[in-house]
A and B are shown apart, each in its own frame.
Chain A
Amino acid sequence: MNGVHDMGGMTCYGPVKPEENEPVFHAEWEKRVFAMTMLGMGQLDTLDAFRHAIERMDPTHYLSSTYYEHWLAALETLAVEKGVLTPEEVATGVAQETGKRAEGPLPPEAVPAVVQGGAPCQRTEGRLTPRFSVGDQVRARNLNPTGHTRLPRYVRGKNGAIAQVYGTFVYPDTNAHGQGEQPQPLYSVCFTAQELWGPDAAATDNLYIDLWEDYLDPTSGEES
């Protein structure tokens, strides 16, 4: 979706302003939202669906609210969409139906394994043979999907070169929408700053971005 979250290349937000004492969390509610999301999301939907729920926020609210408010909005959205909470329950804060989930919540003892184990997104199934090799010339497709994508506007239609072949990874464009992981090759693609931003950009500078195979077209002749 061509949303407000797709910020790369905008210059309207002023200078970067680091805080004086950079706390990990700024208020108690941020801690709770962080932890509820980390522990609850896995039972609700995928990380890609979570990112897309943030992208579906009202754009003015997205810009005016802080990071963990984005998480809070997405958590509420997905809890309702997945049938865990009703919209009334979210609005009133009062549980209407008290039916508990069969599995029950994770116990505290499980936290270290969750944190250290992670949730790898590389797969050994799906589209395993990469179409492109390092050095191949490619163009980012000019796609404008209404759903989730990790192809930002600022690289669409631009010419680059494959810098790394990372392997086969879960495809966010389907995984965010309940259409399965559909794993496919992921690449680091290098674009010159001048290709992206024009002749005034520094000739020495490059941008590297991770793009899935379906975001790319070959421009140096089809692979043999």
Chain B
Amino acid sequence: MSNDHTHGHSAHAAPPNPYLEKHTTPEQTAALEQRVQALESLLVTKGLVSSETLDKLVETYENDLGPINGARVVARAWVDPAYKERLLKDATAAIAELGFSGLQGEHMVVVENTPDTHNLVVCTLCSCYPWPVLGLPPAWFKDAAYRSRSVVDPRGVLRDFGLELDASTAVKVWDSSAEIRYMVLPERPAGTEGMSEAELTALVSRDSMIGVAKVEPPAA
């Protein structure tokens, strides 16, 4: 996809704004490290948390949870029509069949892309995201630009990602304002008819399950 889309007409030029420049200087990071270390020490002293348990939780979210889980769900739905039917009817149960469940995925709904419908998931009020299937969200999902504009200009946001939809394609935007968590079932690309479930899993990108991309056909 061309870079033109990144700076195309949809990408509203933001005026210089100090509030949009996030804290990233080394000094600021050092100050945060110090403040957070002090807070951890306080909460450990008070018996609210233990550092070993914090380590274990971080390790879990860094290593064990990620979009590979969602990709497995998508690939299974592509090869097994009965599974796909269960997934679209009761996503929480169908996803649990593959072993994925838990925090921020307690109430899952999967929405299906078709040749004439494209789904896009956002959380305008905070950054709700289906952790068991996609892991923790990328920074852009949590930033103001995505949260604010996805509902009013979804086609422009998709152009930011290099995806230009036909005018005839219906866009459905899902604002996760409650505890339901949404995942997109992307379309299976052409040219994948002979591929195994494992090969298909490797094709499915995280972005396609948020709805900001399509699954690209395998390179010829």
Contacts and interface: CB of A to CB of B under 8 A. Distances in A.
Interface residues of A, number: 99
Contacts of B215: none
Interface string A179-205: 000000010100001001100001011
Interface centre among A5, A31, A75 (most CB of B within 10 A): A31
A44 B169 CA distance: 46
Given A8-B148, A11-B12, A111-B53, A16 B143 contact: yes
A209 B177 contact: yes
B49 A40 contact: yes
Contact of A76 (B39, B53, B161): B39
Interface stretch (B75-83, B133-141, B184-192): B133-141
Contact of A152 (B65, B124, B174): B124
B103 interface: yes
A212 B177 CA distance: 10
Contacts of A10: 144, 148-149, 152
B157 interface: yes
Contact of B50 (A24, A54, A108, A170): A108
A19 B152 contact: no
Contact of A72 (B39, B157, B169): B39
Contact of B18 (A5, A64, A103): A64
A64 B22 contact: yes
B171 A204 contact: yes
Contact of A210 (B34, B173, B178): B178
Nearest to B142: A67
A25 B176 CA distance: 23
Interface residues of B, number: 92
Contact of B173 (A29, A90, A207): A207
Contact of A108 (B19, B45, B56, B103): B56
Contacts, number: 305
Interface string B127-163: 1000010011011101111111101111101001100
Contacts of B136: 24, 34
B57 A39 contact: yes
9 contacts: A6-B124, A11-B148, A16-B145, A27-B32, A35-B49, A60-B19, A112-B60, A115-B65, A118-B103
Interface of B: 6-7, 10-14, 18-23, 29, 32-50, 52-58, 60-62, 65, 101-107, 109, 124-127, 132, 135-136, 138-140, 142-149, 151-155, 157, 160-161, 167-180
Given A64-B19, A154-B152, 14 more contacts: A5-B126, A11-B12, A29-B36, A36-B54, A84-B48, A93-B39, A94-B38, A101-B46, A105-B47, A115-B65, A152-B175, A154-B124, A186-B178, A210-B178
